[in-house]
């Protein structure tokens, strides 16, 4: 750890050594997915214990905690459990759905009764005849009941690319059943369940990060998988409910928004603490990873349209003036430009947009409020992309004081370090097109 009020923020990174107590090596997967944290797979999310420790150190009960890149809502859940009001923002509609499901808490008896009825209804559904426009029907009604808007002949070609006709009909049956529920909280809960099972019931290769099909992949019955995961989620909801009741925090607000981090829905100087892990410019194609949910729920008609929403997007980089506010960022962009001019433009746009985000964070923080950034460095085109150091320069230039830098080791059991360029599978360093470091930084900045 380095604590500083240095004129040159990069000096805070000199002679840093990893701090073992920030690695949380002793934690098991069960401990990092307790309560609602295990509802939905989500790439590159930080563990709840990390968020909880930062919340405890830099805020007090009753304060407002904000996460401008909330992802699946980890910060919001931990803030609620600790009696802090919270607000999260994400432009990704999949993140918004998951965060809404994870931060709401449903009376366990009410949820479990609804789950029993819903899964009972689904398992009564007879197997349809699998050809285009085949209707679904149930033994309960003993009649043909077409699914509005869900006959496969009219579905987007990308859905046919990823799912068999049999699976498409099963998914449609699930969605139709969820849509009959009157309680919005229940619908949100079960739509999150449905989103979670899309990858395992698709042709997407289970061991691949990159969108890669495996047509010979065994496909489970979507209805059975849905009900099994919903029961696991119901157990997490019960645990969340009991913890909140014990801590008298059931009514503590945790509010997700679907919005741009550059336009936070908050008045000036209203947040005591911001905790966030910004998107990486290289490590994950967030849009690619969430495309199944976006396509299924109709949030995008094609992948290009979906990608355009993300900071750090990798296609269609528009010609705009970029201002990073960081000499190091400009040096990195020049180095990458010598190898790949398109990638250099992407990185320049990424750092410019992140500066806009930091400007907005400065606006909503109270004086002497803290910003905690969790970020790692990467390699791109053979160039070391020092995200953490660039962010430190940007924050310093905007008027933040970098008060602390923590170097944190990431246990190998939770870190997909490398990816094969051709297949997207996790790979050895020698076969990878980029390397994600086994460490990351926690930058602590104070609004001056």
Same-domain pairing of 348 and 421: yes
Bridge-based pairing of strands 271-276 and 254-258 is: unpaired
Residues paired with 167 in a beta bridge: none
Same-domain pairing of 117 and 234: yes
Count of all residues that appear for the chain in the document: 448
> Six-digit token pair at 397?
């230039």
- Single residue among 218, 239, 260 that ends a domain in this structure: 239
Domains of the chain: total: 2
**CA-CA distance, 343 to 299, in Å (whole number)?**
27
CATH of residue 404's domain is 3.40.50.150
Print burial letters for 101-131: b (CB count within 10 Å at least 16), e (below 16). Answer: bbbbbbebeebbebbeebbebbeebeebeee
Same-domain pairing of 192 and 153: yes
Residue 9: per-residue pLDDT: 84
**342 falls within a domain:** yes
Same-domain pairing of 336 and 404: yes
Residue 411: per-residue pLDDT: 77
Residue 126: per-residue pLDDT: 54
> Where in the sequence is the domain holding 84, given as residue range(s)?
2-93+251-447
**269 falls within a domain:** yes
Same-domain pairing of 413 and 332: yes
79: left (phi over 0), alpha (psi -120 to 50) or beta: alpha
- Kindly report, residue by residue over 309-367, the tens digit of the pLDDT: 676 555 445 545 568 899 999 999 999 999 999 999 989 999 999 999 999 999 999 99
**CA-CA distance, 344 to 380, in Å (whole number)?**
10
Same-domain pairing of 235 and 311: no
Cβ(63)–Cβ(231) below 8 Å: no
pLDDT 10s digit of each residue in the chain, 448 long?
555 455 578 888 988 999 999 999 999 999 999 999 999 998 878 899 999 999 999 999 999 999 999 999 999 999 999 999 999 999 999 999 999 999 999 999 999 999 999 999 998 865 544 434 334 433 333 233 334 444 556 667 888 999 999 999 999 999 999 999 999 999 999 999 999 999 999 999 888 777 889 998 999 999 999 999 999 999 999 999 999 999 999 999 999 999 999 999 999 999 999 999 998 875 446 667 788 998 899 887 666 766 666 765 554 455 455 688 999 999 999 999 999 999 999 899 999 999 999 999 999 999 999 999 999 998 899 999 999 999 999 999 999 999 999 999 987 544 444 445 554 444 554 444 445 558 999 999 999 8
Residue 382: per-residue pLDDT: 92
Same-domain pairing of 285 and 336: yes
Residue 171: per-residue pLDDT: 95
Same-domain pairing of 53 and 159: no
Residue 223: per-residue pLDDT: 96
**103 falls within a domain:** no
- Single residue among 239, 271, 301 that ends a domain in this structure: 239
Same-domain pairing of 184 and 288: no
pTM, entire model: 0.87
- Single residue among 216, 239, 262 that ends a domain in this structure: 239
């Amino acid at each position: 750890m380095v604590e500083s009020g240095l004129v040159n923020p990069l000096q805070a990174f000199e002679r840093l050594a990893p701090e073992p107590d920030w690695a949380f090596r002793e934690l098991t997967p069960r401990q990092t997915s307790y309560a609602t944290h295990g509802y939905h797979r989500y790439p590159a999310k930080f563990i709840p214990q990390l968020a909880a420790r930062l919340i405890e150190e830099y805020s007090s009960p009753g304060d407002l905690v904000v996460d401008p890149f909330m992802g699946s809502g980890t910060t919001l859940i931990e803030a609620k459990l600790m009696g802090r009001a919270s607000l999260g923002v994400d432009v990704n509609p999949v993140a918004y759905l998951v965060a809404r499901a994870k931060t709401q808490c449903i009376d366990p008896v009410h949820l479990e009764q609804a789950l029993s009825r819903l899964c009972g209804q689904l398992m009564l559904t007879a197997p349809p005849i699998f050809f285009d426009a085949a209707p679904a029907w149930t033994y309960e009604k003993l009649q043909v009941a077409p699914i509005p808007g869900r006959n496969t002949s009219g579905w987007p070609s990308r859905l046919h690319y990823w799912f068999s006709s049999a699976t498409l009909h099963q998914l449609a049956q699930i969605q139709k059943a969820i849509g009959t529920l009157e309680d919005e909280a229940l619908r949100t809960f079960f739509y999150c369940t449905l989103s979670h099972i899309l990858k395992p019931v698709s042709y997407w290769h289970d061991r691949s990060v990159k969108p890669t099909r495996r047509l010979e992949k065994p496909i489970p019955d979507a209805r059975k998988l849905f009900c099994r995961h919903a029961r696991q989620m119901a157990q997490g909801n019960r645990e969340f409910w009991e913890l909140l009741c014990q801590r008298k925090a059931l009514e503590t607000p945790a509010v997700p928004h679907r919005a741009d981090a550059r336009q936070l829905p908050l008045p000036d100087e209203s947040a005591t603490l911001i905790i966030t892990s910004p998107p990486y410019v290289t490590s994950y194609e967030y849009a690619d990873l969430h495309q199944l949910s976006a396509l299924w729920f109709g949030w995008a008609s094609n992948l290009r349209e979906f990608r355009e929403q993300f900071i750090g997007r990798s296609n269609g980089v528009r010609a705009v003036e970029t201002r990073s506010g960081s000499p190091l960022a400009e040096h990195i962009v020049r180095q990458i430009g010598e190898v790949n001019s398109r990638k250099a433009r992407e990185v320049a746009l990424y750092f410019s947009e992140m500066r806009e985000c930091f400007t907005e964070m400065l606006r909503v923080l109270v004086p002497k409020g803290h910003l905690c950034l969790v970020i790692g460095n990467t390699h791109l085109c053979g160039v070391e992309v020092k995200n953490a150091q660039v962010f430190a320069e940007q924050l310093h230039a905007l008027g933040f004081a970098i008060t602390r830098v923590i170097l944190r080791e990431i246990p190998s059991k939770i870190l997909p370090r490398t990816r094969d360029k051709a297949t997207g599978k996790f790979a050895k360093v020698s076969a990878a097109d980029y390397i994600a470091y086994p460490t990351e930084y926690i930058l602590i900045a104070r609004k001056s």
